[in-house]
Amino acid sequence: MDKQSVKKYTWNLTSLGSPQTMPREQATISRAWHLFKKKWEPRTDYLSSPRILRKALDDYERLQRTYGFEGNTGYYFWLCTQQNNQDPTTKAGFHRAEEFGSRMQNLVLFFTYRIAHISPSMQKKMLASAACVPYKHFLARLFAEAPHLLSAPEEKILTLTNASAHGDWVRMTSSLLSWQERPIHTPSGVLQKNFSQITSLTSDPLKTTRDSAAQALNDILQSYEPVAEAELNAILSHKKTVDDLRAFPRPDTSRHMSDDIETPIVDALVHAVSKTYAISHRYYRLKAKLMHVQRLAYHERNVPLSFVTTRTTYSFEETMDIIKRVLKQLDPSFLTIYESFMAQRRVDVFPQKGKSGGAFCTHGTIAQPVYILLNHTNTLHDVLTFAHELGHGINDELMKRHQNALTFGTTLATAETASTFMEDFVFEELMRDADDNLALTLIMEKLNGDISTIFRQIACYQFEQELHTTFRATGYISSTHIGLLFKKHMAAYMGRSVIQSEGSQRWWIHWTHIRSFFYNYSYASGLLISKALQASVRRDPTYISHVKEFLSTGLSSSPYDIFKKLNLDIATPSFWDTGINEVKNLLSQAENLARTIR
């Protein structure tokens, strides 16, 4: 690809400033937050007057909107580390920004800390007041967290040490892995590939290539196994300490509270999915038959079935055309948002050495641009991945139009709903006019995504539960023991048609989500909720207005209340069965097609 094309599909970060603007911006941010502290720290009247509290919250919201705690250059440096985490200058800038942000956060910690500790009777008054309506749910969440807060000085210490006790450990592991390169056997010969490319090639349609990539990946993971063992134990220990101090009853309680979702709802989701692992067993059994093998190797679970169709690749230009058609059909505003992303170069498309693997969509403050990172290698999976991340981006942009800086964002319980919603409609577009061969290929790829999003993520969640429980009982857990637990839960959802191949016990090493602690359930909850919304849109296309209402709600209401307004009761255990049955029905369709073709 020529330099002009590479630039076209690389992030433009100029609107965020540069390393040279950091000192000046930090001085401005520091001055603004010190003025806020000077104005409100001596006062207590906002703790007993809804009217004055509204004024204080307006001041706080304005600074969060304008600066946040790290400013534009903090966001800039973080994004640069995702493009190239091998540059020490960039990493140094990011660390300086992170440290500065922690200081600013601690500077005004008194504000939310005092509000959280308002007396119960005054809390009711604040929540009932018309003056506080724009911040009602923000306040409700602060009040709910109060019983688990430590003293103000202790909270400051935890804020300052979080990077070194957790973030730096995680970044170390991911950075070490991203630097790695290995020779891979490809149709073009033996080529040197970076870690992100190697990971992608483990699912290559050509067996010699994917086997070579899997061996290379296993070699890399084995070489960093002692480092990952130390890293994971360190952050598990830090989490246990914090949980004990905050008196959380379970390792995943803090996640549920952070996500504004009740623990029984998550437990019901986990139970509903895990009791139906037979569905994913059937999927892998079918996939093994279609690949003419008795059992799949662990790394082959994601191999696309491109051999049954002549359509094997999708260029990024073709991917864009497909996505534009879908967005135009769903809602014109979705297409407008997409076009702004591309025109403003807010999508980084192709793999590069040192670039973060996988894909994500990210935002900073409500006033900062949304960016999407991809590692597009022209596969069918890449088409759906772009649709997935674009769903996040559309969600973010709609929230910006309707929320304030304190209600901008999504909890993890709902974060994956928008992304999977867009992904599934792009899948339907791919299915349009497909013959039986292509239809089977597409359905198997869609099932692969659904199985991974629902069943694999819940298996990972259960792995995390046992991992934390084991660590808290023993005080340390070896990489060998971690690997055994990992294989146990992966085998539970995969069944006998997938071999837990030698080396697969180390694949937890590069699974970054387990470092975010109990993050993975949200993929399953988001997709299963999304399927309910999709069904409503298919029955009545005008229901898209309700979907846009949900996408605009942000943190202004709890997930339960958001969906209750849309006549979806996620607290009912049987709610989750509806989406699971859709996956089951799609699998039956694939089984019938496979019999016809064979």
Query: Which CATH number fits the domain that encloses residue 556?
Result: 1.10.1370.20
Task: Report the pLDDT value the prediction gives residue 306, as an integer from 0 to 100.
Answer: 64
Task: Report the pLDDT value the prediction gives residue 3, as an integer from 0 to 100.
Answer: 61
Q: Is the pLDDT of residue 209 over 90?
A: yes
Query: Which CATH number fits the domain that encloses residue 96?
Result: 1.20.140.70
pLDDT, averaged across the chain: 92
Say if 69 falls within a structural domain.
Answer: yes
Which string of DSSP letters, residue by residue, matches 206-264? SHHHHHHHHHHHHHHHHHTHHHHHHHHHHHHHHHHHHHHHHT-SSTTHHHHHHTT--HH
Task: Report the pLDDT value the prediction gives residue 156, as an integer from 0 to 100.
Answer: 84
Task: Report the pLDDT value the prediction gives residue 161, as an integer from 0 to 100.
Answer: 87
Task: Report the pLDDT value the prediction gives residue 405, as an integer from 0 to 100.
Answer: 97
339 Cβ contact partners less than 8 Å away, ≥ 6 residues apart? none
Rounded mean pLDDT, 553-563: 92
Rounded mean pLDDT, 428-439: 88
Task: Report the pLDDT value the prediction gives residue 2, as an integer from 0 to 100.
Answer: 58
> DSSP 3-state assignment of 373?
strand
Task: Report the pLDDT value the prediction gives residue 86, as an integer from 0 to 100.
Answer: 79
Instruction: Identify any residues that bridge with 372 across adjacent strands, giving them in sequence order.
Output: 347, 361
Domain boundary among 97, 127, 149: 149
Q: Is the pLDDT of residue 32 over 90?
A: yes
Rounded mean pLDDT, 198-205: 89
Domain boundary among 109, 132, 149: 149
Task: Report the pLDDT value the prediction gives residue 583, as an integer from 0 to 100.
Answer: 95
pLDDT band at residue 152 using 50, 70 and 90 as cut-offs: confident
Domain boundary among 149, 180, 209: 149
Task: Report the pLDDT value the prediction gives residue 400, as an integer from 0 to 100.
Answer: 96
Task: Report the pLDDT value the prediction gives residue 9, as an integer from 0 to 100.
Answer: 93
Task: Report the pLDDT value the prediction gives residue 353, as an integer from 0 to 100.
Answer: 82
pLDDT digits (tens, 9 = 90+) for 528-556: 999 989 988 999 999 999 999 999 999 99
Range of the domain at 565: 267-304+411-598
pLDDT digits (tens, 9 = 90+) for 339-384: 999 999 999 999 988 888 889 999 999 999 999 999 999 988 899 9
- Chain mean position to CA 264: 22
Rounded mean pLDDT, 140-147: 92
Say if 49 falls within a structural domain.
Answer: yes
Task: Report the pLDDT value the prediction gives residue 367, as an integer from 0 to 100.
Answer: 96
Rounded mean pLDDT, 130-154: 92
Percent above pLDDT 90 for the chain: 74
Whether 170 contacts 512, CB under 8 Å: yes
Say if 332 falls within a structural domain.
Answer: no
- Tokens at residue 454, please? 């629902």
Say if 491 falls within a structural domain.
Answer: yes
End-to-end CA distance of the chain: 40
Q: Is the pLDDT of residue 6 over 80?
A: no
Say if 276 falls within a structural domain.
Answer: yes
Say if 225 falls within a structural domain.
Answer: no
Say if 441 falls within a structural domain.
Answer: yes
pLDDT band at residue 435 using 50, 70 and 90 as cut-offs: confident
508 Cβ contact partners less than 8 Å away, ≥ 6 residues apart? 228, 463, 482, 483, 486, 514
Q: Which amino acid appears at position 478 of this protein?
A: S
How far, in Å, CA of 356 to CA of 372, rounded? Answer: 12
pLDDT digits (tens, 9 = 90+) for 290-333: 999 999 999 999 988 865 555 568 999 999 999 999 999 999 99
For residue 370, the 8-state DSSP code is P
Rounded mean pLDDT, 31-50: 97
pLDDT digits (tens, 9 = 90+) for 404-416: 999 999 887 888 8
Domains of the chain: total:
2
By the 10 Å C-beta count (0-12 exposed, 13-18 middle, 19+ buried), 542 is classed as: exposed
Rounded mean pLDDT, 92-117: 94
Task: Report the pLDDT value the prediction gives residue 4, as an integer from 0 to 100.
Answer: 63
Closest CA to 569 of 561, 577, 557, 578: 561
Task: Report the pLDDT value the prediction gives residue 283, as an integer from 0 to 100.
Answer: 98
pLDDT band at residue 165 using 50, 70 and 90 as cut-offs: confident
Percent above pLDDT 70 for the chain: 98
Q: Is the pLDDT of residue 88 over 70?
A: yes
Q: Quote the pTM value.
A: 0.81
Say if 357 falls within a structural domain.
Answer: no
Rounded mean pLDDT, 186-215: 91
Task: Compute the half-sphere exposure of residue 318: CA atoms within 13 Å on the CB side of its CA.
Answer: 15
Query: 288 and 423 share a domain?
Result: yes
Task: Report the pLDDT value the prediction gives residue 46, as an integer from 0 to 100.
Answer: 97
Query: 138 and 280 share a domain?
Result: no
Task: Report the pLDDT value the prediction gives residue 551, as an integer from 0 to 100.
Answer: 94
Query: 273 and 143 share a domain?
Result: no
Closest CA to 568 of 528, 539, 595, 596: 528
Task: Report the pLDDT value the prediction gives residue 452, as an integer from 0 to 100.
Answer: 94
How far, in Å, CA of 301 to CA of 500, rounded? Answer: 11
Q: Is the pLDDT of residue 50 over 80?
A: yes
How far, in Å, CA of 521 to CA of 364, rounded? Answer: 23
Task: Report the pLDDT value the prediction gives residue 310, as an integer from 0 to 100.
Answer: 53
How far, in Å, CA of 56 to CA of 36, rounded? Answer: 9
pLDDT digits (tens, 9 = 90+) for 224-260: 999 999 999 999 999 999 999 999 999 999 999 989 9
